[in-house]
């Protein structure tokens, strides 16, 4: 039997997001609209709306829905921003951010995942303002920098300096920082030349690879 994806999506938004601390109406609307099942490999589709990360191949995962929503919420977007998403994976979070910002550039280090993300975004009609590039996003993406907001979906040992440099003032960066197995999700804000950061929650992400990640 084919699941009723729309009901699953509604239930996910009610229980996993609204039932916790996701209050931003635009974030809730985006999570209700983007078909998460279209970003997950066919063999894992049944798990599309489960309250956990799901395998997407190449040892990588699509983040737990709550984490995608929380990261989008703390970026506090108003629809005018240019956003960099580091670690685009299958393109799901990039699609969500695409509904909340003017333009999204997603960067993914695994070429086959970057191709998959592009295909998922095209098939779901989300590629109008969302572009996927393949490369090491630990160094940001200087071609289209600076960014009003940056969302990093892989855990770094420290906040990469390049990302701070490519962040506008004012600007917001959300990133998991810590050890390989557990991290703090940090919200870093640049404002009038100063950088402030606060811990949002504890989290567990796959490692950020590359020059300014885990070698």
Residue whose C-alpha is closest to residue 84's, from 4, 175, 158: 175
Nearer to ligand SAH, 75 or 170 (CB): 75
65 binds ligand SAH (CB under 6 A): no
Contact 24, 31 (CB under 8 A): no
Element (H, E) at 186: strand 183-191
Q: Examine the residue annotation and report whether 142 is marked as an active-site residue of this protein.
A: no
Residue 159 binding ligand SAH, by CB under 6 A: no
Check residue 204 for interaction with ligand SAH (CB under 6 A): no
Shortest distance in whole angstroms from residue 7 CB to ligand SAH = 22
Q: How far is the CB of 208 from ligand SAH (least distance, A)?
A: 5
22 binds ligand SAH (CB under 6 A): no
Report yes or no: 166 and 142 within 8 Å, Cβ to Cβ. Answer: yes
Cα dihedral 57, 105, 14, 207 sign: positive
Options 63, 138, 151, 162, the catalytic residue? 63
Contact stretch for ligand SAH (CB under 6 A) within 15-23, 60-68, 175-183, 192-200? 60-68
Sequence-separated (6 or more) residues with CB below 8 Å from residue 9:
31, 32, 35, 36, 49
Least Cβ distance, residue 10 to ligand SAH (angstroms): 20
Give the nearest distance from C-beta 183 to ligand SAH in angstroms.
13
Q: Are 153 and 94 in contact (CB under 8 A)?
A: no
Q: Write b or e for each residue in 84-113: b if 16 or more Cβ atoms lie within 10 A of its Cβ, otherwise e.
A: bbbbbbbbbbbbbbbbbbebbbbbbbbeeb
78-117 residues near ligand SAH, rule: CB under 6 A: 86-90, 92-93, 107-110, 113
Cβ closest to ligand SAH, residue 195 vs residue 206: 206
| Angle between helical axes of 25-33 and 65-75 (0-180°, round to 10) | 140
Q: Which stretch binds ligand SAH (CB under 6 A): 18-26, 57-65, 73-81, 164-172?
A: 57-65
Q: How far apart are CA 188 and CA 84, in angstroms?
A: 14
Binding site for ligand SAH (CB under 6 A): 60-63, 86-90, 92-93, 107-110, 113, 136-138, 153-154, 206, 208-210, 213
* Active site members: 63
């Amino acid at each position: 039997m084919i699941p009723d994806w729309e009901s699953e999506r509604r239930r996910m938004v009610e229980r996993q997001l609204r039932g916790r601390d996701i209050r931003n109406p635009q974030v809730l609307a985006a999570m209700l609209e983007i078909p998460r099942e279209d970003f997950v490999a066919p063999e894992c589709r049944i798990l599309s709306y489960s309250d956990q990360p799901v395998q997407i191949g190449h040892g990588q995962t699509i983040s737990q829905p709550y984490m995608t929503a929380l990261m989008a919420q703390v970026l506090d977007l108003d629809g005018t921003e240019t956003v960099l998403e580091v670690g685009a994976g299958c393109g799901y979070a990039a699609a969500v951010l695409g509904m909340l910002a003017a333009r999204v550039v997603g960067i993914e280090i695994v070429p086959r995942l970057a191709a998959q993300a592009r295909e998922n975004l095209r098939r779901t009609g989300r590629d109008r303002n969302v572009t996927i590039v393949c490369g090491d996003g630990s160094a940001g993406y200087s071609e289209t920098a600076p960014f009003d907001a940056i969302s990093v979906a892989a855990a770094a040992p420290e906040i990469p300096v390049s990302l701070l440099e490519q962040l506008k003032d004012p600007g917001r960066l959300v990133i998991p920082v810590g050890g390989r197995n557990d991290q703090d999700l940090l919200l870093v804000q640049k404002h009038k030349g100063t950088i402030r950061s606060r811990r949002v929650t504890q989290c567990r992400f796959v490692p950020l690879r590359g020059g300014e990640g885990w070698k």
